[in-house]
Amino acid sequence: MIVNRLPFLFQKSPTPNQAWIETAVITLTIPGIGFLIDGSDPFFLNSQFPWLILSPLLLSLQYGLAYGMTSAGFFIAILSLGSYFQWAFIPIFPTISIVGMLLTTLITGEYYDLWQRRQKKLEQDHQYLKTRMDEFTRIYQVLKASHSQIEQELSSQTKNLRTSLLLLEKQIYSIQQHPGNIFDDIGKPILEVFSAHSNIYAASLFSVNSNKVLTTKAIAYIGSPANIQISNPLVQQALISHKVVSVQNHAEETGAALVAIPLVDVFDVVWGLVVVTEMPFFALHSSTLDLLAVMGGRIGDLLNRRSELHPSKSGWKDFELALRRILIEIKRLHYSTVIVVTKFTSQTLGHHYIPKLLSESRGLDKTWVFENQYAHQVAIQLLPFTDNKGISSFFDRLGLSGLNSDDEDSTDTSVSIQQWTLDASIDANKILSELNQFCHFNSK
């Protein structure tokens, strides 16, 4: 800051009494020194340099024109009296020296005034900056305290949506399924996931059979249970459209139902329906409905896997489901996603780069590692919310930039990279076919 660079500008000024005392002392010092040097010429009238101008010069620079002119006036008065009474040490009146003294005093006094104006402006700027800094400091402390409080609140809420879905997935794979009912022991956890992440206070979960017929009784509920009729128009529209439906976009009477959320998998099969009966009205906006649709789809995929007689953690099956789910969400939410496939013909390079690929993954990224028909390692990465610029940075961090190529038959390198940018027009079967062709997989 200016104050730190020029600290002498803001030193405390002497009081007027101190200034006048210094004026008298400096004014008398000059002839005093002259008397000690040459008693016959205390005012240096015979000297080659007019030393008398030093006193008014210094005083006008230090304290201003008034103090400098006072000193000059004293010398003019003494010299005038000495010339008039013909004192021996003042034989004549030094007109030229006096005129030079007055001019010098006037000029230096003007510079003093100019310097004072600049100093005053700097002081005002300093005071303004100091005031703003104080305000900023207070606001910063408030924000810091608020941020710390938010961190404490967030740290106590250890589950985000991704974590909740992963825990639900583990539950689905760990609980033994009873024949004919895929919702055994998981109905309540499903509703708890919706409640925790979308301000739902009361909701009921209904099972849907292969004929798209809703069960008459809710298999699980949170909050106060509500009587939902199968003929409810909100329920019927959700079953027909396979989309989230709310009272905002429905003109008919829907009773207690506010939102109907179908649990739809990537193959457009409805496994269940969540009917919300209590939630804040302000939460019924498009972003909340999009979130509910995403959650319904993800849970629908988990139910699809659970419906298998022996659900397994097949990597290729998981990738296919994830790809189809991402394409569905892209059509609804319009975000960018990239698939990156890295094929290693060298086992050493595979062992070196695959851990780096996994460590560079973000929370929503997914990575699968396979072995193709030539026993080469292949890493497939699904990177949501990523564009071409993000992919370039990703390759730079891994040290793989420049290896991305469209030449599928390239054999001049032991690392081959191919990428696909997904949009709403992409067909999942086409992507899977191209992946098989590039990776040289056996029939999946």
Share of the chain above pLDDT 70, in %: 84
SS3 track for 279-297: CCHHHCCHHHHHHHHHHHH
More confident residue, 126 or 211: 126
Angstrom distance (rounded) from CA 14 to CA 193: 74
Sign of the dihedral through C-alpha 6, 10, 11, 13:
positive
The pairing of strands 377-384 and 337-344 is antiparallel
The pLDDT value given to residue 179: 55
Mean pLDDT across the stretch 390-402?
74
Top-confidence range, 31-35, 100-104, 132-136, 292-296: 132-136
Average pLDDT, the chain: 79
Shortest CA distance to 236 belongs to which of 254, 263, 209, 218? 254
pLDDT confidence tier of residue 122, bands split at 50, 70 and 90:
very high
Mean pLDDT score, 108-114: 88
What is each CA distance from 313 to 164, 393, 435, in whole angstroms?
A: 19, 31, 20
More confident residue, 131 or 394: 131
Instruction: Give the residue extent of every domain in the chain.
Output: 2-132, 161-306, 333-439
Q: Which of 306, 333, 323, 345 is nearest to 439 (CA)?
A: 345
Question: What is residue 170's predicted lDDT score, i.e. its pLDDT?
Answer: 74
Q: Name the CA radius of gyration of the chain, rounded.
A: 44
**173, pLDDT greater than 80:** no
- Spatial CA neighbour of 418 closest among 400, 398, 430: 400
Q: What is the mean pLDDT of residues 422-441?
A: 84
pLDDT of residue 142: 87
Q: Taking 70 as the threshold, does the pLDDT of residue 174 lie above it?
A: no
Of residues 400 and 380, more confidence is placed in 380
Assign domain 161-306 to a CATH class: alpha beta
Per-residue pLDDT tens digits for 308-324: 655 555 678 888 888 88
Residue 176's pLDDT is what? Answer: 55
DSSP states along 377-408: EEEEEEEET--HHHHHHHHHHHT-TT-B-S-T
| pLDDT score, position 412 | 45
Predicted local confidence at residue 8, as pLDDT: 41
pLDDT in tens, 83-99: 777 776 777 778 888 88
Mean pLDDT of 33-43: 80
Q: For 270-287, what is the mean pLDDT?
A: 85
Q: What is the rounded distance in angstroms from the CA atom of residue 203 to the CA atom of residue 361?
A: 35
> 227-243 pLDDT, tens per residue?
788 788 888 888 888 88
Q: Give whichever of 88-97, 269-278, 285-294, 423-432 has the largest mean pLDDT.
A: 269-278
- pLDDT at position 126 over 90: yes
Residue 166 pLDDT more than 80? no
Residue 112 has pLDDT above 80, yes or no: yes
- Residue 372 CA to residue 79 CA, distance in Å, equals 112
First to last CA, the chain: 68
Distances (CA, A) of 106 to 65, 68, 103, 120, 319: 7, 8, 5, 21, 89
Q: What is the mean pLDDT of residues 373-398?
A: 81
DSSP assignment of 332-384 = HH---EEEEEEEESSHHHHHHHHHHHHHT--SS-EEEEEE-TTS-EEEEEEEE
Split at pLDDT 50, 70, 90, the class of 7 is very low
pLDDT value for 128 = 93
Least confident window among 159-163, 284-288, 292-296, 391-395: 159-163
Q: Per DSSP, what are the bridge partners of residue 259?
A: 246, 276
- The bridge status of strand 202-207 relative to strand 259-264 is unpaired
pLDDT of 158 above 90: no
Determine contact, residues 341/436, Cβ cutoff 8 Å. no
> What local confidence, expressed as pLDDT, does residue 409 receive?
47
Contact 301, 317 (CB under 8 A): no
What is the distance, to the nearest Å, from the Cα of residue 135 to the centroid of all Cα atoms in its chain? Answer: 23
Hey, which bits of 190-336 come out as E strands? 202-207, 220-222, 245-246, 259-264, 270-278
User: 401-422, pLDDT tens digit by residue?
Assistant: 655 554 444 444 678 888 888 8
Instruction: Give yes or no for a contact between 21 and 63, defined as CB atoms under 8 angstroms apart.
Output: no
Coil, helix or strand for 241?
Answer: helix
DSSP assigned state of 316? H
Domains 161-306 and 333-439 share a fold: no
Q: What percent of the chain has pLDDT over 90?
A: 5
Summarised one tens digit per residue, pLDDT across range 178-203 is 555 777 778 888 888 888 877 888 89
Tell me the fold of 333-439: Alpha-Beta Plaits (3.30.70)
